[in-house]
Amino acid sequence: MLEVLNQISDIGIVPVIKIDRVEDAVPLAKALIEGGLPCAEITFRTSAAKDSIKAISEKYPQMLVGAGTVLTKQQADEAMAAGAKFIVSPGLNPEIVKHCSEKGYPIAPGVSNASDVEVALSLGLEVVKFFPAEAAGGLPMIKALAAPYTSMKFMPTGGINAKNLNTYLDFPKIIACGGSWMVNADMINAGDFDGIKQLTKEAVTQMLGFELAHIGINQANEDTALATAKLFETAFGFTNKIGNSSIFAATSIEIMKMQGRGKNGHIAIRTNYINRAVRYLAMNGIKFDESSKKYNDKGQLTLIYLDQDFGGFDLHLIQK
């Protein structure tokens, strides 16, 4: 259960999908994977759900595919037999939760109030779906529930879109958001998988929020670093801030007092969620220098270098 939840958390967005035709399942999964979201919640709202899960699981075993709108024990069994890796239900039915827990199925039932959360806790659950998120009070309601129930985490679904995604994900008690804006049913039925891929990429880009933090320029020693910093100050009025190992000209140029990392220096890229960024880049073949990791006093990753050269510059991610 914990492993699946950690995978969902690292992905950040769970596309919630209604499939009418089994033949759409594999090209849809391909579009999601290439768009950066190797995850899907296939809802049992159509007769194609079970076979769609099976088709995706067989073609893309690396994809984290789950079953949504599971209302019966039989549906749960059928979903897991077809290859589902997790179960999601719109409400909290203790009998369904017990059945899934006894069989070792990871399940996140829907809740919308404190009583539901207490039942979920009594059933030994660590994560619940908050549904319908926006209609049930949105982020303020989740924060209100998280205050007394400190061990519970949430996966809101319903009304989540590109505009409010990061607002939800910024709250640490939310492991991921479910949404369907990148997998519109009309686009699936029209076979517009290129469009779905593009919307998926846009959703991932929105979530990760990559942006340039600063550029580090290597210098031979402190004297040359000071001279270079003075040039930036004279030419552009950039105020210098002198540190132990470098000098910042304004906030975006770091002038090293030595030959630092990289042939020419380094580039720092900010991201909203560094763990999700690492997963996304790794999925695209990027490797990391594990020895470069830095953590804050809470044990959270704050910095990591990529294990490759970018035009003579080393590159690292930093948590916003």
Hey, what domains does the chain have and what are their CATH numbers? 2-207 (3.20.20.70), 211-319 (3.10.180.10)
Among residues 18, 85, 129, 197, the one annotated as catalytic is: 129
pLDDT tens, N- to C-terminus, the chain (320 residues): 679 999 999 999 999 999 999 999 999 999 999 999 999 999 999 999 999 999 999 999 999 999 999 999 999 999 999 999 999 999 999 999 999 999 999 999 999 999 999 999 999 999 999 999 999 999 999 999 999 999 999 999 999 999 999 999 999 999 999 999 999 999 999 999 999 999 999 999 999 999 999 999 999 999 999 999 999 999 999 999 999 999 999 999 999 999 999 999 999 999 999 999 999 999 999 999 999 999 999 999 999 999 999 999 999 999 99
Asked whether 261 and 215 are in contact (CB, 8 A), the reply is no
129 is catalytic: yes
Residue 87 sits at φ, ψ, to 5 deg, of -120, 140
Residue 128 CA to residue 92 CA, distance in Å, equals: 9
Two tokens, residue 245: 């190992």
Active-site residue identified among 41, 78, 254, 257? 41
- pTM beyond 0.75: yes
Our answer to whether residue 41 is catalytic in this structure is: yes
Token digits for 40? 């899907």
Nearest CA to 277 out of 209, 176, 212 is that of 209
Class of residue 220 by CB neighbours under 10 A (exposed 0-12, middle 13-18, buried 19+): exposed
